[in-house]
Structure 1
Amino acid sequence: MTGTVEAETQANLAFRIDGRMVERLVNVGDRVSGGQLVARLDPTNEENSLRASRAELTAARARLTEARNNYQRQRELLQTGFTTRVRYDEATRTLRSAESAVDAAQAQVNLAETRLGYTRLEADAAGTVTARGAETGEVVQPGRMIVQVAREGGRDAVFDVPPTLKDRAPEHPVIEVSLTMDPKVRATGRVREVSPRADPVTGTFRVWVGLDEPPPGLRLGSTVTGRMEIGGGAATEVPASALTRSGGQPAVWLVDPQTQTVALRPVDVLRFDPARVLVGGGLETGDVVVTAGVQALRPGQKVRLLGQQSAAR
């Protein structure tokens, strides 16, 4: 079967905050390393917020120093009897409140520093950029994909497999994958994941095959051919021109040698291509199959064989 090479892991890199993107340093096809700067947001608002938070922290620390000095005086005066317990308790509460205010201001500074760091988007691992989602100058929302990175460290060959082949596959099969344009470039792999649901349009199941030590020629997006050995069974090969439909099911026209009339016979198609069809059930040895003009026939119609009769194999 034919498939494509994809990265085992793809990550969408996005900002955690909103803002106007002022720079994107990579494009599709570029290689990135872990920690490399990918894009930046306008940091003006976050820088102003950080300055305001640091100013509030400085003021809170000044109030704490004043409260601590007042507490020390009240404690000494209480010990010598020159102040009251009420004033001492008030100084204690003011000190505790000032300490809490400093802690809160420090937390705001930490948050502002973190938000300022979020204006820089960095790659978390090495890989190759495979898509971009925003351009410089756009106002982006949190979580919007800026670039998509196919991480290094694993390659998959991805195939859309029909259910008949999926059900006949052996347990833990070894898949041979080769480059379609150059079959000499090849690797082996094993099934890593099978989609639990069929595609609603094609009816096929997506299968991911993890490649073992793929050569450099198996690049991302390359078209590959996958081969797998399965147990053989009784089957009949007929020309593709013989296949038609009956009640929505595959069928072929059979010729009755006695009456020279035709009748539809439903068949089980295992595999097909533009030239031939492999039928797994519905035909028997000696059956005569119509291979030309099948769209013009009707049940019970008499036909004349051209040349020597050919029995289905």
Structure 2
Amino acid sequence: MIRPVLLLLLALAPASARAEAPARPVVSEIVTGSAIATRDFPGVIAAEVETTLGFQTAGRIETRPVNLGDAVTAGQVLATLDQVTLAEDVAAAEAGLRAARAEADFARQSLERAQELQRRGVAPLATLEAAAAKSAAARAAVDRARADLSRARDAERFGRLSAPSAGVVSQILAEPGAVVTPGTPVLRLATAAGREAVIDVPDDMLAVLPKDARFTIETRGDGPQTLPGRLRLIEPVADASTRAHRLRISLADGGHAFRLGTLVTARLDLPEAPLLTLPMAAIRPDTEPPQVWRLGPDRRAEAVAVTLGQRLDDRVVISSGLTAGDEVVIRGIRSITPGQQLGPRVSP
């Protein structure tokens, strides 16, 4: 009898007398600017303009008086084809033109005789028509022979590969003795138009890269040199293996102080303000504008509107709404209500 009475008294006891259930732990993240990628990238100095040069005619390469790394001037001969063969082709074309002209002269004279005989009524009309056809064919043969001679002379002139502008030979693609066709690459010329720094950056770096990003380019080794640079081009196709994008950075004063192939470090000049990021899982999916759950001083959940920036893989830049040091819930956000008391922080 006594035991049921005690149970009844306990059931009627006020709620304050009972022990409160502990608040649930929460998986959260302290907002910092440490998620930004490194700002230093290795690179190399290259020419802003590189030209692949080749002959405009077919033949066998006879000489190549320049080597890799040689500085050349505009108009300097870089390679030649077999001149004997080209000269023979010109001589044959000239002989063909003389023969065609002789045939044309004979056909013209035959036509004149046929016309006179036809006028006298001695030769039939068919003889005159045949002579006229032969004369026309002979004139066409002269035109064809003249065109062949023009091509042979062009080929002889194209047998010398000259530098279109001053520069440095950056790559050799064909050696003497090789037989080439028109347009076959023979060498690459890095023109003296200017120098640029070439670097590779990961995909996530493009999201925070300004369109007119500025860099400080510094050579490696003893006595480093520095030059300011500005982003000129982001190559649209990423590397198939590393998924990195290639950036080309124009250098001040054309970068002539740096030698081609010099190893450099490119430092991105970004504001010192931290870049705040959060996992995409922390953004409430059912709110507009976007919101996150921030823990207040008494560890109660409060909904805070934020402005989202660029995506960085599985994270997103927070442009406004939060400050460094805020604690934000990143797991279980669907089961939280405003003002809910939350427990200690658990690292993800």
TM tier relative to shorter chain: 0.5 to 0.7
Shift of 1:98: 0.7
Q: What amino acid is aligned across from residue 213 of structure 1 in structure 2?
A: D
The answer to whether the 8 Å contact 2:196/2:250 transfers is yes
Equivalent residues in 2 for 1:16-95, closer than 5 Å:
16-95=56-135
- Offset of 1:62 from its aligned partner? 0.6
CA distance change for structure 1 residues 74 and 48 in 2, over 3 Å: closer, same or farther? same
Q: 1:18 to 1:79 in 2, by over 3 A?
A: closer
In structure 2, C-alpha distance between the alignment counterparts of 1:59 and 1:107, rounded to whole Å: 14
Q: CA deviation at 1:154?
A: 2.7
Unaligned runs of 5+ in 2: 1-40, 278-311, 319-323, 328-348
After superposition, the Cα gap between the structure-2 partners of 1:219 and 1:77, relative to the gap in structure 1 and judged at 3 Å, is same
Work out which of the residue numbers 247, 271, 274 in structure 2 matches 1:233.
274
Identity of aligned residues (%): 31
- Distance in 1 (CA, whole Å) between partners of 2:62 and 2:53 is 16
Distance 1:144 1:104 in 2: 27
Secondary structure (helix, strand or coil) at the match of 1:66 reads helix
In structure 1, the gaps of 5 or more residues are: 237-269, 271-279, 288-313
Q: Give the corresponding residue for 1:145.
A: 185
Look up the match of 1:173: 213
Matched, 1:103 2:143: yes
Q: What is the letter of the counterpart of residue 14 of structure 1?
A: G
Which range moved further: 153-162 or 56-65?
A: 153-162
Question: Aligned pairs, how many?
Answer: 242
Q: Which residue of 2 aligns with 1:125?
A: 165
Matched-pair contact (CA < 8 Å) for 2:61–2:180: no
The residue matched to 2:86 in structure 1 has which SS?
helix
- Provide the secondary structure at the position in 1 that maps to 2:254: coil
Q: Give, in whole Å, the separation in 2 of the partners of 1:95 and 1:75.
A: 12
Deviation at 1:182, TM superposition (A): 7.3
Contact 2:69 2:168 in 1 (8 A): yes
Q: Partner amino acid for 2:61?
A: M
Q: Aligned to 1:168, what secondary structure does the other structure show?
A: coil
Query: Cα deviation per residue 1:139-193 (whole Å; 9 max; x = unaligned)?
Result: 2333543322101213221111122322111232233334345787443333222
List aligned pairs for 1:249-260, cutoff 5 A.
Answer: none
Change (3 A) 1:216 1:229: closer
CA 1:74–1:226 in 2, change beyond 3 Å: closer, same or farther?
same
Contact 1:186 1:214 in 2 (8 A): no
CA distance in 2, matches of 1:6, 1:183: 20
Distance 2:246 2:63 in 1: 37
Letter in 1 for 2:274: G
Q: Is the 8 A contact 1:18 1:139 kept in 2?
A: no
Distance in 1, Cα, partners of 2:51 & 2:63: 20
Partners of 2:63 and 2:53 in 1: how far apart?
Answer: 14
Alignment check: 8 A CA contact 1:186 1:215 kept: no
CA contact under 8 A between 2:194 and 2:255: conserved in structure 1? no
Q: Which of 234, 240, 243 is matched with 1:194 structurally? A: 234
Amino acid at match of 1:229: D
The alpha-carbon deviation at position 65 of structure 1 amounts to: 1.0
Q: Separation in 1 of the partners of 2:180 and 2:187?
A: 14
Sort the Cα spacing of 1:80 and 1:180 in 2 relative to 1 into closer, same or farther, 3 A.
same
* TM norm structure 1: 0.66
**Correspondence 1:208 to 2:248:** yes
Higher mean Cα deviation, 107-116 or 88-97? 107-116
Mapped partners of 2:136, 2:61: distance in 1:
43
Q: Which amino acid aligns with 2:254?
A: P
The secondary structure found in structure 1 opposite 2:269 is coil
* SS of residue in 2 equivalent to 1:61: helix
CA deviation map 1:232-252 (0-9, x unaligned): 32579xxxxxxxxxxxxxxxx
Larger Rg: 2
Alignment partner of 2:111: what SS? helix
